[in-house]
Amino acid sequence: MFKALLEYEFLQNAFLAAMITSIVGGIVGVIIVEKKLVMMTGGIAHTSYGGVGLGYLLGFEPIIGAFMFSIMAALGIGVIKNKSTGSKDIIIAMFWSLGMALGILFIGLTPGYPPMVSSYLFGNILSVTRFDLILMSILAVIILTLIFVFYQDWKAHLFDQQFTQIMRKKTNVLEYVLLILLALTVVVLIRVVGIILVIALLSVPASASSYLTGKLHLRMVYSMIFSFVFILSGLVVSYYTDISTGAVIVFAAVILYLLTWLYSRRLLYKENLKGE
Amino acid sequence: MRPLKIELNEISVNYGKIHALKNLNLTINEGDYIGIVGPNGGGKSTMMKSILGLIKPSKGKITYCGTSLKKSDIRMGYVPQISDINRMFPITVEEVVLSGRMSKEIRPFFKYSEEDKKAVEEVLDTVGLKKLKNRQINELSGGEFQKMIIARALTLKPDILLLDEPTAMVDVMSQRQIFSLIKKLSKDITIVLITHHVQMISKNVKKLIYLDRNIIAEGDPNQVYQYAYLRPVHQSIKKRVVGGAHV
């Protein structure tokens, strides 16, 4: 496979996509897990399917449609959550199902043979194009810049939003920027892991890393490494078989999560023995 | 102590059809040490969050030295209920307390200065947590966690410190330490304290308020305690005896 990697452009694209996805997913995943935004991310990801459908219907790149719908979903959920007294879960569920419904509707209205949407739903790292890669790189640079430039503000905000509000910081700005970051991350991940499995790649590596370290920046590093290992395993299996990348990534992620959980239990058990 | 006057005029806060506060009037002056007691759901936390600007009252007005919160330069420190904060967040004690030194602007590449770090050391010394500054917060006991949150509020150099049940989920020894720390702080800072431990604070506070959507009783701590707590308890015991039940 290593020889093929040097030879074929689609494999080089896939490898670069794996790197970008694991860096972005690893870092943003920790934020999502700590801020308890997993379901929100799921809602944004599924709403983006409406954009994929619109792309096919109107004849533009489906990923651009996903990008537009993700941003609209993130801001829409944020605004409605802030202005209404309704449950956050219900608002997310509405966007979630409405996005999927719109996607099905738009694809149904598309003339000719129905398009192959499975790579958007379940991910196919081997089908990542140069255009996808350029878009992913631009979004990754925006996401990482926003996180690292304002790292201390994010840390305080993620730990205790109420406190930053009392300090008269513009918490609304931080909140909406965070939602936009989630939307951008979803777009970066869609081609690799698919709309349906995005939340797995964002939450599992971050949760697994929480068993290994108590430091925020180290959690991000571990989460990136785990993501890369998962995506690479998906890439290898997809290359040799015809199994969906997303499915392999999720299997690998869940297995490693269980292993880190068992490892943390073992450490705890040893500490308890020492204490006795 | 800087001059301070926070006035709550006819404040009402509604959550849908539920009235959390109804036409509440209260004045807080510099040097006050006010204890707020009352039943769960009586509007104590809502009142505190209204003062902090976290909740907008449905009716009424709050003024800070005669002006709005936005225009005033009052520094308010807040110690929320322990359940409001993620205790498993990956952050150290020092980092939490340092966050109290952040500016209100969102600044790129913000770094804490040596002066900030020195100020944090001093505050951690005041609350007795200097040795634990490099600990992760998930390794702290309930009492240590609350002291850390108090320290964070103190780094703001607040004119007023508002504490919402700082001794909830804390053992008795730590409760005593925290109340004794608050008493010490009350010499230099105006304090508003919500608690269910009425007996522990009744000797310390200058004024006790019994709040149940509105002020039911306020004034001398002992009298308010007698009026608000002992009277209904005696009444309920009497009722139960009359009803023939075991007491």
| Least confident stretch, A10-14, A28-32, A134-138, B90-94 | A10-14
3-state secondary structure of A161: helix
Predicted local distance difference test score (pLDDT) of residue A97: 96
Using one digit for the tens of pLDDT, what is the confidence trace for A186-236? 999 998 889 988 999 999 999 999 988 888 999 999 999 999 999 998 888
Higher pLDDT, residue B49 or A245 = B49
Q: Does B18 touch chain A (CB under 8 A)?
A: no
Using one digit for the tens of pLDDT, what is the confidence trace for B217-239? 888 888 888 777 766 655 555 55
Report whether B62 contacts B6 (CB < 8 A): yes
Q: Pick the residue from chain B with its C-alpha nearest to A167.
A: B104
Cβ neighbours of residue B222 closer than 8 Å, sequence gap 6 or more:
B202
Helices (H), A150-240: 151-159, 161-166, 171-193, 198-210, 216-240
Please tell me whether the interface predicted TM-score (ipTM) of this complex is above 0.90: no
Where residue B243 falls among pLDDT bands split at 50, 70, 90?
Answer: very low
Question: Does the beta-carbon distance from A152 to B85 stay under 8 Å?
Answer: no
Provide the angle, in degrees to the nearest 10, between the axes of the packed helices A130-149 and A62-83: 30
Question: Does the beta-carbon distance from A167 to B152 stay under 8 Å?
Answer: no
Number of A to B CB contacts under 8 A, please give it. 79
Q: What is the pTM of this model?
A: 0.85
* Per-residue pLDDT at B242 exceeds 50: no
Q: What are the chain B neighbours of A219 within 8 Å (beta carbons)?
A: 90
Question: Does the beta-carbon distance from A166 to B54 stay under 8 Å?
Answer: yes
Q: Pick the residue from chain A with its C-alpha nearest to B110.
A: A152
* Over residues A125-154, mean pLDDT: 92
Q: Where are the beta strands (DSSP E) in chain B?
A: 5-15, 18-29, 33-37, 59-64, 76-79, 160-164, 190-194, 207-211, 215-219
Question: Does the beta-carbon distance from B90 to A214 stay under 8 Å?
Answer: yes
Using one digit for the tens of pLDDT, what is the confidence trace for B69-112? 989 999 999 999 988 898 989 999 999 999 999 988 888 999 99
Question: Does the beta-carbon distance from B138 to A174 stay under 8 Å?
Answer: no
Using one digit for the tens of pLDDT, what is the confidence trace for B2-61? 889 999 999 999 988 889 999 999 999 999 999 999 888 899 999 999 999 999 999 999
Higher pLDDT, residue B67 or A83 = B67
Q: Pick the residue from chain A with its C-alpha nearest to B100.
A: A167
Q: Does B111 touch chain A (CB under 8 A)?
A: yes
Question: Does the beta-carbon distance from B95 to A165 stay under 8 Å?
Answer: no
Minimum-distance CB partner of A162 among B76, B80, B106: B80
Q: Pick the residue from chain B with its C-alpha nearest to A214.
A: B90
* Per-residue pLDDT at A92 exceeds 90: yes
pLDDT over 90 percentage in chain A: 58
Residues composing chain A: 276
* Over residues A71-91, mean pLDDT: 86
Instruction: Give the residue among B224, B216, B220, B209 at the shortest CA–CA distance from B34.
Output: B209
Give the neighbor-by-neighbor strand order of the sheet with B215-219: B76-79, B160-164, B190-194, B33-37, B207-211, B215-219
Catalogue all structural domains in chain A, each as residue range(s) with its CATH number.
Answer: 2-275 (1.10.3470.10)
Predicted local distance difference test score (pLDDT) of residue B245: 41
Predicted local distance difference test score (pLDDT) of residue B231: 64
The whole-angstrom separation of Cα B25 and Cα B29 is 14
Instruction: Give the residue among A57, A40, A141, A59 at the shortest CA–CA distance from A103.
Output: A57
Question: Does the beta-carbon distance from A152 to B110 stay under 8 Å?
Answer: yes
